[in-house]
A and B are shown apart, each in its own frame.
Chain A
Amino acid sequence: MSTVNNQARAFKALVDWLRDALREPEQFTLGYAAESSAFVRFNHGKVRQAGQVQQANVSFKLIDDGRHADLQITLSGDPEADVQRLSEGLQQLRETLPLLPRDPYLLLNHNHWQSNNVQDHPLPDTEQAVAEITRAAEGLDLVGFYAAGPISRGFASSSGAFGWHQANSFNFDFSLFHENGQAVKASYAGHEWSSDGFARRFEQAREQLEFLGRPLRTLPPGEYRAYLAPAALEEIMGMLSWGGFSAQAIASKQSPLQKFYAGEAHFSPNVWLTEQVSGSLSPAFSDEGYPRDDLGLIAKGTANARLINSRSAAEYGLAANGASRYEYPTALDMQGGQLEQKYILEELGTGLYISNLWYLNYSDQPAARLTGMTRFATFWVENGQIQAPVSTMRFDDSVYSLLGSQLEALTRERELLLSASTYSQRATASMLLPGALVKRLTLTL
């Protein structure tokens, strides 16, 4: 694997080559994504499957006379071969553009902004991390996934914009299973692996596992008080992220929050939500080359900003604010409330303590009505005391109820949840969320 400096240099070399190769009035944008990842899967406390993946690609947009097309090309890492691939790509795009009509929604950012963010904490040695994990897992049924390595993202345009983002990170996402089939989920993720930090995190999960050994409680469908831990709330916010805050989805009446943005529905005044790019782990620039602003999406429970990419800006006459192609947030930050963590069980009184939710989808999207399952460490609590784990249940409720009329409190403490997603590449998304105490959660099955 080439070092990170080499990658930045190799990307600059491709950008320079492209600048020279363009013919007036052609313009380009070039995005870059690379990673080198160690991947280790665990099952029953042992290594089930392990390997290493090295990959790099560019996303190349060629613009000429109001026409444009995008081409993603995998790079080989060899400078000469990659210039050859880019050259063939340029040829392909030049042949494509005359076949297209002019695009009325093409909006280019001509600012030559510069951004550079490099974090190169040394990563843990994979062999050592695996040894610590398997040692901790002795006598336990651990199943999980360790992913680690450098991630780089770059952007450059013919207007002179240039962005570089690089970070080393690891994410160990795991579950501990009780022999009765119940499980607790946890993760240890960040930039610097500390043996003590890992041991502490592991011990917390192990302690929760002990409660899971109690006889399982089966609940009838009905309405229950419930506490949703930050990881459970993450599933709800993750669902809303698909189109919820997207300018295009809102305008085309496909957003689950269309009533919210129309002023016909609102959340509790305690709900404040920001797309907090600065200080987050994701790049400060979008995949289409706009610097990303911090955006207040929900203020005092009512609609504020939406996510606007250049296409939506042109189509709806709005100002672009650095949203990605899919207008999807990647650094949601919800303000905490007044409930202190140590009083959660006491304030819940009698009801459900839900650590995680799973497999959410809409029962009625315009009504923001969601269904989904409890998963991992859901407990029945009576008079502030954990009584028993609860068998898997389905809920079906509107977000306007859960985070609106039925929201009793948000926790003061918040949890930083780093995305463990690795579809095609390791994600840099995160959410910073409190837990939520709700007066009524409807269970249906």
Chain B
Amino acid sequence: MFDFHPRLKQRFAALRTGAEFFSLRYVCESGQHLSVRKNVAEPPSLNRDEGAMLTVRVNGVEAYAATNDLSQAGLQAALERAEQHARQLKPHALLDLREQAVSSDRADYFSPHFDQAFPPLSDCYQLLGDESAAVPQDERLVNWQASIGLTQVEQIYLNSAGAELRQAQRFIYPALDVTAFDGNDSQTRTLGRENFGQQGGFDVISRCGLIGAGPKIADQALQLLMAPNTPQGPRDLLLMPDQMMLQIHESIGHPLELDRILGDERNYAGTSFVKASDFGHLQYGSSLLNVTFDPDIPEELASYSHDDDGSAASKQFLIREGLLLRPLGGALSQFRAGLDGVANSRACGWNRPPIDRMANLNIEPGDQSLEQLIQGIERGVLMRTNRSWSIDDARNKFQFGCEWGQLIENGELKGVVKNPNYRGISAQFWKSLRAVGDASTSQVLGTPNCGKGEPNQVIRVGHASPACVFSNVDVFGGDA
């Protein structure tokens, strides 16, 4: 672990520049993706990636250069390119960062069970093969696939103010999906994949329920195939954690990103219906809504001690009892906006610069069991497992779809319905939050696939949430 650290430190110490401040962020990432599709092992996809980003500040103007050449000469050349960029762009720079503080922290951070080896490839294939083989023989089951993704990342951040931050993390993504087809419609049921990723080791595979899931997921795909469409019209909506995560992500996370509010993303990811002046004033949701940035849940995907600019991370309430308090903005955005934020300045790799990202964004549990949540609904629908998401560029008008729906009548769970969709407007939707599940309904989930930024970056984010009930939501089904 951190094998390259001594040499990197030496090379960093030998770098020469006229910049008033500079930093180096080294990232070494390795991974494997293993999959068995319809009982056939697909070839493993392995990777090993290594590089560094040098960032300089010259007369208050920052610029970066990322390089795959980690030799002394390679790092020096990158530093000089960054410095040249900063000098050239000085007359056109938007920001003057001369007064912005920099980190001098030192810390190490490790994923849980990082020191325990992950099972060898052959064991993983055995497990995936067993799950695939456990999918029953039924001619309507036309496709199924079990997979495990693993990514291991070592990052070392050094800067000219003396910061030295090392992180060693391992991320696991188990998945199983089954598709059923009846000659007309097709329905897919999924476990994990884009919904379930965690830090850790083999414990993640156990927690996600992959082992023994084959027959259950296949049965659910068949149930969906035979189910009627979700009825159209207003109903109470019970969202389970694997849809709540998407609801939080799209309609709380993105609109609270401070760089979006400052306009940086208007050409790509979009803007926000939230304004800088709303913090401390806007009632974002009902008084049951408590939203936190929480880097302290060890298995959650974006738990860390420091972000990629070297800011120390700690748990913060972004929304408390429905009141909007704090944006998702890292040190730079905080400096620009004059607002307190969180340590969420993050890059997806060595070749992309840090920007405001979501990290772990969670809903704090309430006080009702799942049974109580269901009992409290007269005419509603339960939805689980996101499969479709679409929202406008200000993060307001949304439409989301799930794999699995179940009607709720007079406080009881009834039949399965397919193609459950719903739509709403963020600024109003969270005010209809009527009940929040307790810790027993809560799950720690996360996705590796949040996209944003120019140049584009796809990054890991964590979302832990209980099940939640929303009043009077516009729900509907599909065509087939």
Binding site for B on A (CB under 8 A): 37, 39-44, 46-57, 61, 67-78, 81, 85, 89, 92-93, 96, 99-101, 103-106, 126-127, 130-131, 134, 143-145, 147, 173-175, 177, 181, 183, 185, 252-254, 258, 358-367, 369, 371-373, 375, 392-394, 396, 398, 421-424, 444-445
| In the complex with contacts A364-B480, A422-B454, A359-B267 CB distance below 8 A | no
- Contact pick for B456, options A47, A52, A423, CB 8 Å: A423
A147 to B95, CA, bound (A): 20
Docked-complex contact B268 and A445, CB < 8 angstroms: no
Chain A residues whose CB sits within 8 angstroms of the CB of B266 once the complex forms: 43, 143, 175, 177, 183
B260 to chain A, nearest CB (A): 11
| In the complex with contacts A74-B51, A373-B391, A421-B456 CB distance below 8 A | yes
B71 sits at the interface (CB 8 A) = yes
A125 to B206, CA, bound (A): 54
Docked-complex contact A253 and B142, CB < 8 angstroms: yes
Docked-complex contact A74 and B353, CB < 8 angstroms: no
A78 to B74, CA, bound (A): 9
Chain B residues whose CB sits within 8 angstroms of the CB of A422 once the complex forms: 454-456
Chain B residues whose CB sits within 8 angstroms of the CB of A37 once the complex forms: 455
Chain B residues whose CB sits within 8 angstroms of the CB of A254 once the complex forms: 143, 179, 186, 188
Docked-complex contact B46 and A362, CB < 8 angstroms: no
B186 to chain A, nearest CB (A): 4
CB-CB nearest in chain A for B31: A72
A303 to B268, CA, bound (A): 33
B179 to chain A, nearest CB (A): 6
B209 sits at the interface (CB 8 A) = no
A58 to chain B, nearest CB (A): 11
Docked-complex contact B44 and A100, CB < 8 angstroms: yes
Binding site for A on B (CB under 8 A): 40-51, 53, 55, 62-71, 74, 78, 81-82, 85-86, 88-89, 92-95, 120-122, 125, 142-143, 179, 181, 184-186, 188, 262-264, 266-268, 270-271, 349, 351-353, 355, 387-394, 396-397, 399, 401, 419, 421, 423, 425, 451, 454-458, 477-480
Docked-complex contact B388 and A51, CB < 8 angstroms: no
A6 to chain B, nearest CB (A): 13
A361 to B389, CA, bound (A): 6
Apart from A46-B94, A359-B391, A392-B393, list 6 A-B contacts with CB within 8 A: A55-B351, A71-B46, A72-B49, A253-B142, A392-B392, A444-B423
Docked-complex contact B48 and A362, CB < 8 angstroms: no
- Contact pick for B44, options A70, A89, A444, CB 8 Å: A70
The list of the 4 closest CB pairs from A to B, nearest first, reads: A364-B478, A51-B64, A252-B143, A46-B94
| In the complex with contacts A366-B186, A445-B423, A371-B390 CB distance below 8 A | yes
| In the complex with contacts A53-B351, A366-B185, A44-B263 CB distance below 8 A | yes
Chain B residues whose CB sits within 8 angstroms of the CB of A444 once the complex forms: 399, 423
Docked-complex contact B44 and A43, CB < 8 angstroms: no
Docked-complex contact A47 and B390, CB < 8 angstroms: no
Docked-complex contact B399 and A49, CB < 8 angstroms: no
- Contact pick for B85, options A52, A55, A366, A421, CB 8 Å: A52
- Contact pick for A126, options B45, B66, B88, B143, CB 8 Å: B88
A126 to B86, CA, bound (A): 12
| In the complex with contacts A74-B50, A363-B421, A175-B390 CB distance below 8 A | no
A191 to B457, CA, bound (A): 25
B151 to chain A, nearest CB (A): 13
CB-CB nearest in chain B for A67: B43
Docked-complex contact A363 and B51, CB < 8 angstroms: no
